[in-house]
Amino acid sequence: MLTNLRQRFLALPKRGRVAVLAAIAALLLVVSTSAWGLVAPDDDTIDAYLEQSGLKNRTELRVGVLKDQPLLSYAEPQKRQSTRLADHSGFDVEIIRALAAYLGFTENSVRLIDTQVQNRGSDLSNDLVDVVVASFSMTPQREEEEVNFAGPYLTSKPEVLMRADDRSGETISIYELGKRGERLCTVGASTSDEALRRSGINNFIGVATGGECVDGLLRGKYDAFMLDDVVLAGYKADHAEQLKLVDLVLNQNEKWGIAVANDDEPLRQVIGNFLLDSYERRENGAWQRAWNRTLGRVLSDRRQPEPDPYQRLRDYRDRIQAQAQAQAPLHHGAGLAGSPPGRTPVVRARSVRRSRRPR
């Protein structure tokens, strides 16, 4: 039978043979890919990963935050005890709002729990919180010992906050900073703390919260407060007249991550996908909206840092992305006049930032 077919095939002219092979290839293409479509795995979705994560069967999302960082994550002193999202403001809070919705929690089922810089990792391992969004730098040591990170969701570099009447110029070196001794303040267990110690500076003051450093700075107890620029930006915005930001000459860039418990890889992947999703949506992404509303008012125009690679999980929202991607070219050309109504907020946010005046 097969020999017979082979003989018939070989008896055809060359072009006829190619045509028959092409028709068979087309048939194979349809059959193989359709069969694959029917048996393709469906456990690579956000929902499937959420079902495997530590959040399964949780009625509330407990998020560890710092509450004394204006524009980043802040609650009025009389509302520090509140765990409601609505009582807080700042970039981290906006990110948490979007992340919670992505994870399946409405605004009312999110609890923001006050944490301290030195307790961020232990709060997670003691199951006091589910995720931590609190200026947590992704360091290999922390990833190995304490927690797992999804990120980076923000990058920062150490800078220095000083009183406006301080005689120092626009930049300062870590050596000059070290000479301030006990009049230099930073937050204990922070990466600035580590950077100072690495440079052989040990006689500075390490306190529990940034607010203490700012108070000391305003009262004249300290001369300088060293910490990440995005944190200092908020304090600067609150005390625009009294304080100034001084650029620290130090080649150190921090990547901040959203921390999850060490054994919760599914949740880490889901949060990584949340960041990737926001990154791909550019101006429509959760990150850019959060930035424009908060830190973007003080710091310069920034884009979301590219997240680490994560396994791409499938989600219902993926198709909606078409709008963001399809309209993206409009931004580069002169097509803004033709952009549909959905784009207007972004355009407005940009013009606000352009007309920003120093506060």
Q: Does 16 bind other proteins (CB under 8 A)?
A: yes
Residue whose CB is less far from other proteins, 191 or 327: 327
Residue whose CB is less far from other proteins, 21 or 352: 21
Please report how close the Cβ of residue 102 comes to other proteins at its closest, in angstroms: 8
Q: Does 311 bind other proteins (CB under 8 A)?
A: no
Residue whose CB is less far from other proteins, 34 or 251: 34
Q: For residue 257, give the H/E element and its range.
A: strand 254-260
Q: Which of residues 269-298 bind other proteins (CB under 8 A)?
A: 280
Q: 205-207 and 184-187: which strand pairing?
A: parallel
On whether the CB atoms of residues 84 and 56 are closer than 8 A, the answer is no
Nearest C-alpha neighbor of 166 from the set 233, 218, 229, 235? 218
Instruction: Give the x-and-dash track for 96-115 against other proteins (CB under 8 A).
Output: ----xxxxxxx--x------
Structure token digits, residue 251: 């080649």
Q: Does 15 bind other proteins (CB under 8 A)?
A: yes
How many helical (H) and strand (E) elements, i.e. helices and strands, does the chain have?
Answer: 14, 13
Instruction: Give the x-and-dash track for 316-355 against other proteins (CB under 8 A).
Output: xxxxxxxx-xxx--------------x-------------
Rounded CA-CA distance 359/350 in Å is 18
Q: Does 35 bind other proteins (CB under 8 A)?
A: yes
Structure token digits, residue 22: 């092409």
Q: Does 10 bind other proteins (CB under 8 A)?
A: no
Q: Does 77 bind other proteins (CB under 8 A)?
A: no
CA separation, residue 130 to residues 42, 61, 113, 291, 321 (Å)? 26, 7, 10, 24, 28
Please report how close the Cβ of residue 60 comes to other proteins at its closest, in angstroms: 9
Q: Does 86 bind other proteins (CB under 8 A)?
A: no
Which residue is listed with tokens 């000083």? 162
Q: Which of 55, 161, 187, 224 binds other proteins (CB under 8 A)?
A: 55
Residue whose CB is less far from other proteins, 1 or 334: 1
Residue whose CB is less far from other proteins, 23 or 240: 23
Q: Which of residues 112-171 bind other proteins (CB under 8 A)?
A: none
Structure token digits, residue 208: 């529990």
CA separation, residue 95 to residues 3, 33, 290, 304, 310 (Å)? 68, 39, 6, 12, 19
Give the burial string for 65-103 (b: 16+ CB within 10 Å, else e): bbbbbbbbbbbeeeeeebbebebbbbbbbbbbbbbbebb
Q: Which of residues 170-229 bind other proteins (CB under 8 A)?
A: none
In one letter, which amino acid is 268? R
Please report how close the Cβ of residue 323 comes to other proteins at its closest, in angstroms: 5
Q: Which stretch binds other proteins (CB under 8 A): 39-47, 87-95, 180-188, 251-259?
A: 39-47
On whether the CB atoms of residues 260 and 254 are closer than 8 A, the answer is no
Q: Which stretch binds other proteins (CB under 8 A): 34-42, 151-159, 207-215, 251-259?
A: 34-42
Interaction site with other proteins (CB under 8 A): 5, 8-9, 11-12, 15-16, 18-27, 29-31, 33-38, 40, 42, 45-47, 50-51, 55-59, 100-106, 109, 280, 312, 314-323, 325-327, 342
